[in-house]
């Protein structure tokens, strides 16, 4: 899996290319990328599946999805089909409710509740569903969180679906805590969620690209490394991927991170 920045990943699993929350440029109308997208978007493969976690602008980006076009299958939480009809006519959209699953080839995708919310404008708050995705293909299992506060659901998912190979969890956009705690984990809480999920490897998302909240952009990765070390986790279980870096499942790598490959 290749980290593309923020919540965007390119996951290669069971012969399929899967993108998560693709955002290739700035977020209209107010947030500019502080780290460039790691490669020209046209050099990416056309994915078979695009996963959308929720409809906030930094996760559901109209310009980026128009670049991908109508060939991929878009898997979304409930109530997103009308948005695609307006902004990407002809797109194939499969909406799922919490705990529903959908299979495409050898891979199953299950939408799970997260502790978050949805809004595109002041009049549609929570009218569309949001969630995390459990991706299972062959012997592989990947949890993609999207956005979430820390909540009891992670323990439930670990009991029901664990152990997992990889948990992709957010570590940024968490200050001030009095306001963000219910909707965004800090790095220490992300480590707690990682243990709850019974995952072997954690890959952080949502840091360093967009200046969304009060903490400095360079704080989340430093706090994450401190939290992982305090929890006794070695770096091979808590890799910190820079945008453009690729992590391989252990059987498919030479026991090291590739510093730039996107193959």
Q: What is the pLDDT of residue 63?
A: 96
Domain ranges of the chain: 2-252
Q: What is the pLDDT of residue 257?
A: 42
Residues 6 or more apart in contact with residue 161 via CB below 8 angstroms: 134, 141, 143
The per-residue pLDDT of the chain, averaged, comes to 94
Strands 2-5 and 132-137: unpaired
SS3 65: helix
CATH fold of 2-252 reads Metallo-beta-lactamase; Chain A (3.60.15)
Q: What is the pLDDT of residue 256?
A: 40
3-14: average pLDDT: 97
The tally of CA atoms less than 13 A away on the side-chain side of residue 113 is 8
Report whether pLDDT(258) > 50. no
Residue of 227, 129, 216 whose CA lies nearest to 169: 227
SS3 44: coil
Quote the percentage of the chain above a pLDDT of 70.
95
Dump pLDDT digits (tens) for 168-181: 999 999 999 999 99
| Predicted structure pTM score | 0.94
Q: What phi, psi does 64 have (nearest 5°)?
A: -70, -40
Q: What is the pLDDT of residue 252?
A: 54
Residue 169 sits at the vertex; the CA angle it makes with 168 and 173, to the nearest 5 degrees, is 140
Which string of b and e fits 14-32 if b means at least 16 CB within 10 Å?
eebbbbbbbbbeebeeebe
**DSSP string covering 51-91:** E----STTTS-HHHHHHHTTSSEEEEETT-HHHHHHHSTT-
């Amino acid at each position: 899996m290749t980290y593309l920045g923020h919540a965007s990943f390119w996951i290669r699993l069971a012969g399929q290319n899967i993108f998560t929350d693709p955002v290739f440029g700035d977020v209209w109308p107010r947030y500019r990328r502080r780290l460039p997208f790691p490669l020209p978007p046209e050099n990416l493969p056309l994915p078979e599946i695009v996963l959308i976690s929720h409809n906030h602008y930094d996760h559901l980006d109209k310009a980026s999805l128009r670049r991908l076009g109508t060939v991929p299958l878009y898997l979304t939480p409930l109530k997103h089909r009308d948005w695609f009809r307006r902004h990407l006519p002809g797109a194939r959209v499969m909406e799922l409710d919490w705990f529903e699953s959908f299979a495409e080839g050898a891979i199953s995708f299950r939408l799970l509740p997260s502790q978050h919310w949805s809004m595109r404008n002041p009049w549609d708050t929570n009218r569309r569903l949001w969630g995390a995705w459990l991706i299972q293909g062959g012997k592989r299992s990947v949890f993609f969180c999207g956005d979430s506060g820390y909540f009891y659901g992670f323990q439930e998912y670990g009991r029901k679906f664990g152990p997992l190979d990889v948990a992709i969890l957010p570590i940024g956009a968490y200050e001030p805590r009095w306001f963000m705690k219910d909707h965004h984990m800090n790095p220490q809480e992300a480590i707690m969620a990682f243990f709850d999920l019974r995952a072997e490897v954690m890959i952080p998302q949502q840091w360093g690209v967009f200046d969304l909240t009060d903490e400095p952009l360079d704080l989340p990765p430093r706090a994450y490394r401190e939290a992982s070390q305090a929890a006794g986790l070695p770096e091979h279980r808590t890799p910190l991927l820079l945008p453009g870096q690729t992590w391989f499942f252990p059987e498919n790598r030479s026991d090291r991170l590739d510093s730039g490959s996107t193959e």
